A and B are shown apart, each in its own frame.
Chain A
Amino acid sequence: MVRHYLVLAVKVLLRRKFFTFISLFGISFTLLVLTVIAAFFDHALGPGQEEPRQRRTLYMERTLMYGPHSTSGSSGGFKLFDRYARDLPGLERLSLHENARTVHTYLDGRKISSTLKRTDDEYWRILEFRFVEGTSFGTADVAEARFVAVINVATRDRIFGGWPALGQTFEADGQRFRVIGVVENVSSLRSVPYADIWVPYTTAKTDAFKREITGDWSAMALAKDKASMAAIHEEFNSRLLRVELPNPRDYQALVAPFETRLATFAREMPLADRKDPDSQVWRFVGLFTLLGLLFVLVPAVNLVNINISRIMERASEIGVRKAFGAPARALVGQFLVENILLTVIGGAVGFVLSIFVLQGVTDSGLFKYAHLTVNLRVFAYGMAFAVLFGLISGVYPAWRMSRLNPVQALKGGSR
């Protein structure tokens, strides 16, 4: 039966070339946009090469202090994590890193700008970089504040002309570092692993940061297992009540939750309640789903209209099928097969287009080192969108058509 439906669907689509083109254009464009957005999300927030342990890692990137009249948002301070997070129950590792910032290297009269991140040795144990030379800095390097650095391939190319850099020195931010490792470039869209240069945090010019509750630091907490993640979140929140806030007259509460990667992102989105330490993911998912549905709604309604006229043209066929005993369910199934075929073709076209668009974005260099690709997961999202789209835009016309009175249908479809 499905073969019969598919044969008919292909013939109808080929016969009505203009309708087919309009439908395919709407579907593929919509799916193109959705697939590109999904690729961005996947690239920025999914468990990528450098974050293989993301599923049991919690992140703390933004704090919020508030009182009756004031609120203040910033990253965390070193002291906040150092004093309150190191011995959290269920914690396997804790890593702190200063937010990446731009530093300059002057070489033969040229100014080379790079992004530098000061961090600790645990950073390299939680994350997983691909080293092309040397290795990362260890506990002793950090403890003894050795001026060593890991750089990425792009920085090696810019500073050392692409030659092996191990053991070479370079100046950044007015300090001279010795290269002990070179890693593959990491996309700037992945905020935690991304940098051009990584150095031990103890090489900072001042240690004033060690006394700050809020500041320019973020933390990664690797839980022993998934079950420990909630305990880490809860315990740190309860410890925050004991934190002495820098300006207690203005601020009485501090929100600084350890959260999943998606939750840290969701916290910064519209509609998120930043004063609530609990996950804001559901609000984000709700908002995103709503926007997604609205975005899909316009072409879907359009497709519904096209489908209705396309289907009503075939009223006599519907009349014949009903006369010969087609139950409503079979007719709905037939037209859904047609519609899903159309949307899957549209999905495939949109998918191929999105490969080109993502390649264009990658080539444009708009996002440093970002290599956006449509991977299998995104492909699955795309196809799921396509099928959902097919269902959304096909169910109503198919249902309406299946309810046609057979006599009216045989006469041409007007009720």
Chain B
Amino acid sequence: MIQLKDIEKVYRTDRIETVALADVNLTVAEGGFVSIMGPSGCGKSTLLNLMGLLDAPTKGTVQINGSPIASYSDRAMAALRNRDIGFVFQVFHLVTDLSVLDNVQIPLLYRRMSNADRRTHAEAALDRVGLSARMHHFPSQLSGGQQQRVAIARAIVGKPRILLADEPTGNLDSQMGDEIMSILATLNREDRTTIVMVTHDQQKAAQTSRIVRLFDGRQVN
């Protein structure tokens, strides 16, 4: 499903060069539930961004479904992200000016789809995360856990095969965090959605089928 080969990511400024990732080789099989762990600044989010095609490696290749991404144009990558990848962020990144329903529809705006279909899909996604009753609310009217559930609904509304979650429970208390983990586990189990999750939390990582550990930009297992 996702294959990273000899990945290196270096950030360069005028004065310094920072190696964020080096010699990373990782394959995530279809239907896998993988967590990435490691201390702050070890390259976890960078790795997730490379998998999500939000950034390009300095060296090495990223393959999604067997196709090397380097050959893709920006437009083709945008289309691939839209179709196959969903994102959940630690800070939710909901658009504050839009209602819950409109937020969830965002990925569908970039597909050929009628307004009515978009709405039906968004309502179904909100139903899955238990937020149907809040679809006309605005993000500021929701708790952190509810906002993250909206973010998950937005990530899954387009039925992507891959879900990338960057510390999805990092800003939530333990009960809300458990709720989010339960939703992710259900998606993985019932829909066979491939999930890669960055986390600091050993307990949450233990609920996934595989843990990848990073230290100073290198895999340690």
Seen from chain A, the residues whose Cβ lies within 8 Å of a Cβ on chain B are: 1, 3-4, 7-8, 11-12, 15, 316-317, 319-328, 330, 405-407, 410
Instruction: Choose among B52, B75, B97, B158 the residue that contacts A11 (Cβ–Cβ < 8 A).
Output: B97
Cβ–Cβ < 8 Å partners of B206 in chain A: none
Beta-carbon contact of B93 and A407 below 8 Å: no
Beta-carbon contact of A321 and B55 below 8 Å: no
Q: Which 4 A-B pairs have the closest CB atoms?
A: A325-B82, A11-B97, A324-B107, A325-B81
Q: How far is the CB of A9 from chain B (nearest CB, A)?
A: 9
Q: How far is the CB of A157 from chain B (nearest CB, A)?
A: 60
Instruction: Choose among B98, B102, B154 the residue that contacts A324 (Cβ–Cβ < 8 A).
Output: B154
Please report the number of residue pairs spanning A and B whose Cβ atoms sit closer than 8 angstroms. Answer: 73
Count contacts on B: residues with CB < 8 A to the other chain: 28
> Known: A8-B98, A316-B93, A328-B74. Is A406-B54 also a contact (CB below 8 A)?
yes
Cβ–Cβ < 8 Å partners of A405 in chain B: 54-55
14 of the cross-chain contacts (CB-CB < 8 Å) are A11-B97, A320-B87, A320-B95, A320-B106, A323-B81, A324-B81, A325-B82, A325-B110, A327-B79, A328-B78, A330-B110, A405-B55, A407-B49, A410-B54
Cβ–Cβ < 8 Å partners of A327 in chain B: 74-75, 78-79, 110
Q: How far is the CA of A319 from the CA of B81 in the complex (A)?
A: 13
Q: How far is the CA of A407 from the CA of B107 in the complex (A)?
A: 17
Q: How far is the CB of B72 from chain A (nearest CB, A)?
A: 12
Q: How far is the CB of B5 from chain A (nearest CB, A)?
A: 21
Beta-carbon contact of A320 and B79 below 8 Å: no
> Known: A4-B105, A4-B109. Is A319-B95 also a contact (CB below 8 A)?
no
Cβ–Cβ < 8 Å partners of A407 in chain B: 49, 54-55
Q: How far is the CB of B94 from chain A (nearest CB, A)?
A: 8
Q: How far is the CA of A320 from the CA of B89 in the complex (A)?
A: 9
Identify which of residues 10-57 in chain B touch chain A, using a CB-to-CB cut-off of 8 Å: 49, 52, 54-55
Q: How far is the CA of A406 from the CA of B54 in the complex (A)?
A: 6
**Is B71 an interface position by the 8 A CB rule?**
no
Cβ–Cβ < 8 Å partners of A323 in chain B: 52, 54, 81, 87
**Chain B 96-113 per-residue mask, 1 if CB under 8 angstroms from chain A, else 0:** 011000100111011000
Instruction: Choose among B78, B86, B89, B102 the residue that contacts A322 (Cβ–Cβ < 8 A).
Output: B78
Beta-carbon contact of A330 and B109 below 8 Å: yes
Q: How far is the CA of A317 from the CA of B82 in the complex (A)?
A: 15
Q: How far is the CA of A324 from the CA of B52 in the complex (A)?
A: 10
Chain B at the A interface: mostly helix, strand, loop or mixed? helix
Cβ–Cβ < 8 Å partners of A320 in chain B: 87, 89, 93, 95, 106
Q: How far is the CB of A122 from chain B (nearest CB, A)?
A: 63
Closest chain A residue to B50 by CB distance? Answer: A407
Beta-carbon contact of A410 and B89 below 8 Å: yes
**Is B83 an interface position by the 8 A CB rule?**
yes
Cβ–Cβ < 8 Å partners of B115 in chain A: 3
Q: How far is the CA of A330 from the CA of B106 in the complex (A)?
A: 12
Cβ–Cβ < 8 Å partners of A322 in chain B: 54, 78, 81
Instruction: Choose among A8, A319, A328 the residue that contacts B97 (Cβ–Cβ < 8 A).
Output: A8
Q: How far is the CA of A343 from the CA of B153 in the complex (A)?
A: 35
Q: Which of B78, B86, B93, B115 neighbours the largest number of chain A CB atoms within 10 Å of its CB? A: B78
> Known: A325-B81, A327-B79, A410-B89. Is A7-B106 also a contact (CB below 8 A)?
no
Beta-carbon contact of A325 and B78 below 8 Å: yes
**Chain B 152-189 per-residue mask, 1 if CB under 8 angstroms from chain A, else 0:** 00100010000000000000000000000000000000
Closest chain B residue to A406 by CB distance? Answer: B54
> Known: A321-B106, A325-B81, A327-B74. Is A7-B54 also a contact (CB below 8 A)?
no
Closest chain B residue to A11 by CB distance? Answer: B97
Q: How far is the CA of A323 from the CA of B45 in the complex (A)?
A: 14
Cβ–Cβ < 8 Å partners of B75 in chain A: 327-328
Q: How far is the CB of A178 from chain B (nearest CB, A)?
A: 74
Q: How far is the CA of A406 from the CA of B78 in the complex (A)?
A: 11
Cβ–Cβ < 8 Å partners of A12 in chain B: 97
Q: How far is the CA of A307 from the CA of B81 in the complex (A)?
A: 28
Q: Which of B79, B86, B93, B154 neighbours the largest number of chain A CB atoms within 10 Å of its CB? A: B93
